[in-house]
A and B are shown apart, each in its own frame.
Chain A
Amino acid sequence: MHAKKTKSILITLMSIVIALVMLAPLVWLVGTAFTEPSFNMSFIPKTKFTLENIKYVWNAIPFGQYYINTLILVIVTFSVQFITSTMAAYALAILDFKGKTVIFAIIFMQIIIPNDVLITPNFMTLSELGLTNTKIGIMLPFYGSALAIFLLRQHFKSVPKALAEAAKLDGATTWQTIWRVYMPTAKPAYLSFAVISVSYHWNNYLWPLIVTNSPANRTLTVGLAIFAKSKEANMQWANVCAATFIIILPLLIAFFILQRQFMESFVGAGIKE
């Protein structure tokens, strides 16, 4: 009993330390973004509070446009992935058809190939379709997601067949069965994939930079790069932090609001086989 208590205290202490370590960069970032720039940086800034940094970077780059672009990108990409992956996962988990294992293997292989390797072939395809420098061009290669299909397939497989059969007996169509029986059980998988998809596309830099040319189609990360990559002179940390703050704010807010669901979904997605 005593040992157990010590152990739990230790675990709590460890969690606090880890939490502080994770929090530190954020504290520094916010502090630096909102104080007057100083070459002599410290963890807790000593200079005066100011909104100038935020104002400067906001006006130096069309961040408003970039926000809209990034939001469209993230929302549309996830919505399409949601539909395509659900249908593919259902087919692979429940339906019987020829070459099922081969198709699953091909889809599964895609998880292993890093996206950066595909930049050139994807660009060539888009170029032939005349879709370079468009938002649809940024999104198109991501409309199907091997990871989502895999996650959902595992969840669908764990649904007892009897449940689906019961639904059928009650007169449910295939679509209704997916909607009413399979999708609700896979909610944790959907949520955890949403986190992965949204944060990946929110943070993706190289692909949007390469596919797009005009500010009308560019994303927040491209706006950040203009400040973060200025090493030929000196790092203007105040500007870098201000730009970073602008970019991460929506994700931060979303995380604080949806924290509980995120945690539950990850735990839920993890314990299922």
Chain B
Amino acid sequence: MKKTKKIAALGLAVLMGAMTVLTGCSGNESEKDGTLHLTFYYPVNVGGDAAKLIESACEEFNAENPDIVVEPVYTGNYDDTVTKIQTAIQGGTPPDVFVSLATQRFTMASTGMAMPLDDLIAADEEGEEYIADFLPGFMEDSYVDGKIYSIPFQRSTEIMYYNKDKFVEAGLDPEDPPETWDELVEYAKKLTTDDCYGVGIALNSGSAQWTFTAYSLQNSTDGKMLMSEDGKEVFFDTPENVEALQFWLDLQNKHKVMAEGIVQWTDLPTQFLAGEVAMIYHTTGNMANINSNATFEYGTCFLPGNKQMAAPTGGGNFYISSGISEERVQAAWKFIKFMTETERAAQWSLDTGYVATRQSCFETDLIKNYYEEVPQAKVAYEQISVAKPELTTYNAAEIWRVLNDNIQSAVVGDATAKEALKNAQKEAEEILADYQ
């Protein structure tokens, strides 16, 4: 009896040991050769090619800097990336540098996950010039309490795509897209037929708040939009915002120029390409898809304004982890600057569909030639001058959920625009109470 136990225990130990050896224990590669190993976490949201591009850019950096080895680690989508960073920090192995949503900046700063970059910029000879070269519309959402926490990298904005053929059929001038909300309704009415809606906006969670940022800005004259600049307050239930949401509901219910209910973000471009909707609000990231698949003449234009022209920006920025050694911080800074070099940022924009982040990018032949080939793409760049950061606050994920849920309750008819936004305001204030 005893003997059997011993044998069994021994057998088990041997087996487990063998498994461990078999499967290899290759973690924690030490830095024996004197090089500095940096871990770089990056999410991918535009398909398999982006991962390859990032990996090859890292290889280039490593070749240019023999004393530094950047190890790129794919970390899923933006949400997965934040989970992985948080877990890694708690386990005592934070990444050195990472890409995360620009809207994560308040969370990054308040939880101490990322460090402010001002000292690095000040110490860098060309630091000031470097920062000034980024498009202000993108740079704006790098600040927390006046300090710079991130550097723009994979950034997008929302534009309007419209079907020129449908414009002609409806007797509209295809070179004169709508510029105001009133014109939008007027055009959409003319464009709506039995099998085609005039306008399409994706109202699913994760998309509605982006377009709503635009509508809130467009309907604001005093600059007050969905949130305060310090990220501690939201202004969801202002009369202007209620008016903006009511406008959406009217497009569906009163004018009947937009599909009822909630259209998914990923379905909208397909509907546009299939000719089921004549004008859509979508990201610049979809330019390549629409450009290669449209069987009709298509145009792009600024989002129609109301009291002013406005559009939201979105996408991910570079952050440096706080609490890593000075040597690592310097190497990470060098890496970020390398990844955002003018030529590289321009090429990245062409390869992925993101908007190039720096003024100087638009003077490169790469971008100039591209705009000649696809003039529709230029709208994205021009619109950045009126673009503002999308909704973000402390605990941004929760606030997004609150706004999206309530917008949807208005869209499906469970609440009026005013009730929905009042409710959103109340819920958001409860969440933000912790940060006052």
Contact = CB atoms under 8 A, between A and B. Distances in A.
A42 B93 CA distance: 47
B87 A227 contact: no
A135 B19 CA distance: 10
A84 B12 CA distance: 8
Contact of B270 (A39, A132, A229, A232): A39
Interface stretch (A23-31, A210-218, A244-252): A210-218
Interface string A220-241: 0010011101111111100100
Report the contact-size class of chain A (Cβ under 8 Å from the partner).
35 or more
Contacts of A205: 76
B122 interface: no
Contacts of A229: 44-45, 76-77, 80
B26 A225 contact: no
A155 B436 CA distance: 58
A188 interface: no
B156 A232 contact: yes
Contacts of B288: 233
Contacts of B52: 60
A205 B71 CA distance: 21
A87 B8 CA distance: 9
A181 interface: no
B93 to A, nearest CB: 6
A39 B293 contact: yes
Nearest to B156: A232
B45 A232 contact: yes
Interface in A199-213: 205-206, 209-210, 213
Interface residues of B, number: 58
B146 interface: no
Contacts of A57: 48
A233 B353 contact: yes
B414 to A, nearest CB: 26
Given A39-B293, A126-B91, A135-B24, A232 B283 contact: yes
Contact of B269 (A61, A222, A234): A234
Interface in B247-297: 265-266, 269-270, 273-274, 283, 285-286, 288-289, 293
Contacts of A17: none
A83 B15 contact: yes
* Most chain A CB atoms below 10 A, which of B19, B265, B269: B19
Given A61-B48, A83-B15, A231-B266, A120 B90 contact: yes
Interface in B70-87: 71, 73-77, 80, 83-84, 86-87
A131 interface: yes
A183 interface: no
A18 B75 CA distance: 37
A135 B71 CA distance: 19
B23 interface: yes
A173 interface: yes
B433 interface: no
Contacts of A40: 270, 273-274
B66 interface: no
A136 B288 CA distance: 42
Nearest to B273: A39
Interface string A125-136: 011001111111
A99 B255 CA distance: 72
A133 B80 contact: no
Interface string B47-64: 111011000000000000
A43 to B, nearest CB: 15
Nearest to B28: A130
A217 B45 contact: no
B1 A213 contact: no
A48 B371 CA distance: 33
Contact of B19 (A41, A80, A210, A232): A80
B90 A124 contact: yes
B201 to A, nearest CB: 16
Interface string A54-79: 00110011000000000010001001
Contacts of A120: 86-87, 90-91
A134 B27 contact: yes
18 contacts: A39-B274, A40-B270, A60-B52, A119-B87, A120-B91, A126-B91, A132-B28, A133-B26, A134-B24, A136-B20, A174-B4, A174-B5, A205-B76, A209-B80, A226-B51, A232-B315, A233-B47, A233-B352
Interface of B: 1, 4-5, 7-8, 12, 15-16, 19-20, 22-28, 39, 44-49, 51-52, 71, 73-77, 80, 83-84, 86-88, 90-93, 156, 265-266, 269-270, 273-274, 283, 285-286, 288-289, 293, 315, 352-353
9 closest Cβ pairs, A-B complex: A127-B91, A232-B45, A60-B48, A230-B47, A133-B27, A135-B23, A229-B77, A233-B46, A234-B289
Interface of A: 39-41, 56-57, 60-61, 72, 76, 79-80, 83-84, 87, 119-120, 123-124, 126-127, 130-137, 139, 143, 173-175, 205-206, 209-210, 213-214, 216-217, 222, 225-227, 229-236, 239
